[in-house]
Structure 1
Amino acid sequence: MKLLKSLIVTSVITISLLVANTVQAAPSNVDAKIQAKMLKLGLVASKIEDAPVKGLKQIYTNRGVFYMSEDTQFFIAGRLFDTDDNMTNLTETALSSLRIDGMKEFKDSMIVFPAKNEKAQITVFTDTTCGYCRKLHAQIDDYNDLGITVNYLAFPRGGLNSRSFEDISAVWCSKDQKQAMTDAKAGSKVAKALCSAPIAGHYNLGQAAGVTGTPAIMFEDGTMILGYKPPSELAQILELN
C-alpha cells in the first residue's frame, strides 16, 4: 500500500513538470491531496504554499493562481486583496513571482531586439497574426530608440494544435529569427522548419501567468499589462522620461 501511494505521488509530481515551475520537494499529505483535487478540476498544480489567509493554500497552476482550503473542500478562483495594506492585490503579487521565474527560465529562448542604450526591458507574449502585435513590431525601432529592449516569447493564440502554432514555430526555427519575426509580422510567409524551440513552454507560461490575448507585456518586476502600448506611452509607464 505504501509503495502504491508513493507511485501516485510520483506521478502527480511528474505531471506538474509540464508547467514553468515545479514542486522541488516531496509534497506533504495535504499538498498531495490538493494536487489530486486540482487534477480532477483540470488544473496542474506546480507549486503549493500557505496563502496569506490562515487555513488556505495558494496554488500555482497551468491556468494561474488559485486558493483551496487545506481539507480540499473549498476552491476559490479570484483575486485576494489585503484591505489593511492599501488593497494590495496579493494574487497579482504571486503571479508576478511566477512571471519572473518564467522569464528567467526562458531567457535563452527569447527573440531579442536590443536597445543600444538600454534603460529597461520588456518581455512580450506575441503571435504573428495578431494585429496589435504587428503594430508593436512595426515600431520596434522606436521602442529601442527610447532605450527599451524588447524580448519576445511565443503565444500562438490558436493553441498548441493550431496553424498559429505552426506559423510562430517557423519564426523560432529560422536561422535568422529576428528577420523571420519581422517578415512574419509584415504578413510574409516564413518557411516551415523543425527545431527544439520551446514554443509549448512559452505558451504554457503565458497561460499560467494570466495571458488572455496578445500582445501581453511583462516588466522586469513581474507586473504585466495586456494589450498594445505606443512607444511614448510605454516609456512613461516605465518612467523613462
Structure 2
Amino acid sequence: MKFSQVVTLCISLAVTPMLLASPANKYDDLKLSLGKTLGIEITSLTESQIPGLLQAVTSHGILYVSPDGSKLVQGTMYDLNDGMKNLTEAAMAEPRLKELKPFEDKMLVYKAKNEKHVVTVFTDITCGYCRKLHSQMQQYNDLGITVRYMAYPRAGVPSKVADEMQSIWCSKEPLKAMDDAKAGKSVPLASCNADIGGQYKLGVSFGISGTPSMILEDGTMIPGYLPPQQLNKALSSLN
C-alpha cells in the first residue's frame, strides 16, 4: 500500500467515529423528551423566527418551546414588518405537501380536463358547505381546477360517518358513491384499506378543525368554502 493511501485510510478511520458521534440535530434529545412528555409525534424541532424560541412541527400543528424544554407556547406567530404575515401557517406549508404525498393513491380525484391547478380538500359527507362545494364540482373543473378529496369525518374515527366514508372510498365506483353521498343518498357498505383513520389523523396534524378545508398547491391552507371563481383567483395569485 502506498504511503498516501495509508494516510488517507488513517484520516478516514479517525474522522468516522466523530461523524457517528455527532447528532443529526442539536435538539434531537429535546425533541425526543418533548414527544414523550406531550404524548404526541414531533416531526421537527428547529429555531423559530423569534430568538430564544424553538419551533416544533408536531402531529397537532406547530408549537413553540423554550430551549430548555420547560415552557410551551401554543398560538399563531405574525410578522408585523411583513403585512401581518402568518409565520405559523407559512411554516406548515412545506410539511403539509410532504405529508400528503403518501396519500395520493388514496385520494378521490375529480380531474379537470384542462388542468391548471390542483387542490386537496379535506371533506365530510354530512357537512353543508362540503355538499355545496361538491354541487359546483363541474364549475371548478371547467376553470381547470382538479379537486382531490381526503376524508375528514368530523365525528372522528371510529364513527358512523367514518364507516360511511370508508364505504365510499372502497366502492367499485368511488366517485359515483361520493356523488350519491353528497346528494344525501345511501351508499352500500364496503371495506378495504382506505385508511380513513390515517387521513383523518393527517388532517388533525394540519390543524384542521372543520370542513371543507383546502390545501393549495403551495401548501397554504384555506379553512372553509370558496366559490369556484374566488378559489381560481386565489390559486392564480400563487403563480
After TM superposition, the score normalised by the length of structure 2 is 0.83
Query: Which whole-Å CA distance do the structure 2 matches of 1:229 and 1:89 have between them?
Result: 20
Q: How does 1:152-191 map to 2 (within 5 A)?
A: 152-191=149-188
Structure 1 partner of 2:41: 44
The more displaced of 49-58 and 150-159 is 49-58
Which of residues 92, 107, 110 is equivalent to 1:110? 107
Shift of the 161–26 alpha-carbon distance from structure 1 to 2, 3 Å rule, reads: farther
Structure 1 partner of 2:3: none
> Is residue 82 of structure 1 aligned with residue 79 of structure 2?
yes
**Higher Cα radius of gyration:** 2
Query: Which amino acid in structure 1 is aligned with residue 37 of structure 2?
Result: K
Please report how far the alpha carbon of residue 200 of structure 1 lies from its aligned counterpart in structure 2 after TM superposition: 1.7
Q: How does 1:189-228 map to 2 (within 5 A)?
A: 189-228=186-225
Report if aligned partners of 2:168, 2:178 keep a CA contact under 8 Å in 1: yes
Report if aligned partners of 1:157, 1:213 keep a CA contact under 8 Å in 2: yes
After TM superposition, the score normalised by the length of structure 1 is 0.82
Please report how far the alpha carbon of residue 219 of structure 1 lies from its aligned counterpart in structure 2 after TM superposition: 0.6
Which segments of structure 1 move beyond 6 Å, counting only runs of 4 or more? Answer: none
Structure 1 partner of 2:145: 148
Please report how far the alpha carbon of residue 104 of structure 1 lies from its aligned counterpart in structure 2 after TM superposition: 1.9
Query: Which amino acid in structure 2 is aligned with residue 156 of structure 1?
Result: P
Query: Which whole-Å CA distance do the structure 1 matches of 2:84 and 2:28 have between them?
Result: 29
Please report how far the alpha carbon of residue 36 of structure 1 lies from its aligned counterpart in structure 2 after TM superposition: 2.9
The more displaced of 93-102 and 68-77 is 93-102
* Unaligned 5+ runs, structure 2: 1-21
Report if aligned partners of 1:123, 1:218 keep a CA contact under 8 Å in 2: yes
Query: Which whole-Å CA distance do the structure 1 matches of 2:196 and 2:117 have between them?
Result: 25
* Unaligned 5+ runs, structure 1: 1-24
Please report how far the alpha carbon of residue 231 of structure 1 lies from its aligned counterpart in structure 2 after TM superposition: 1.4
Shift of the 46–120 alpha-carbon distance from structure 1 to 2, 3 Å rule, reads: same
Query: Which whole-Å CA distance do the structure 1 matches of 2:192 and 2:108 have between them?
Result: 15
Q: How many positions carry a matched residue from both structures? A: 216
Report if aligned partners of 1:97, 1:222 keep a CA contact under 8 Å in 2: yes
Query: Which whole-Å CA distance do the structure 2 matches of 1:28 and 1:104 have between them?
Result: 24
Query: Which whole-Å CA distance do the structure 2 matches of 1:84 and 1:39 have between them?
Result: 36
Report if aligned partners of 2:27, 2:46 keep a CA contact under 8 Å in 1: no
Q: Give per-residue Cα distances to partners, 1:99-148, cap 9 Å, x unaligned.
A: 11122221121100001111111110001111111111111111111111
Which of residues 216, 221, 239 is equivalent to 2:236? 239
Structure 1 partner of 2:116: 119
Superposition RMSD in Å: 2.0
Give the SS at the match of 1:217.
Answer: strand
Report if aligned partners of 1:35, 1:44 keep a CA contact under 8 Å in 2: no
Please report how far the alpha carbon of residue 42 of structure 1 lies from its aligned counterpart in structure 2 after TM superposition: 4.0
Which of residues 86, 97, 101 is equivalent to 2:98? 101
Structure 2 partner of 1:20: none
Query: Which amino acid in structure 2 is aligned with residue 137 of structure 1?
Result: H
Query: Which whole-Å CA distance do the structure 2 matches of 1:26 and 1:63 have between them?
Result: 25
Query: Which whole-Å CA distance do the structure 1 matches of 2:189 and 2:32 have between them?
Result: 38
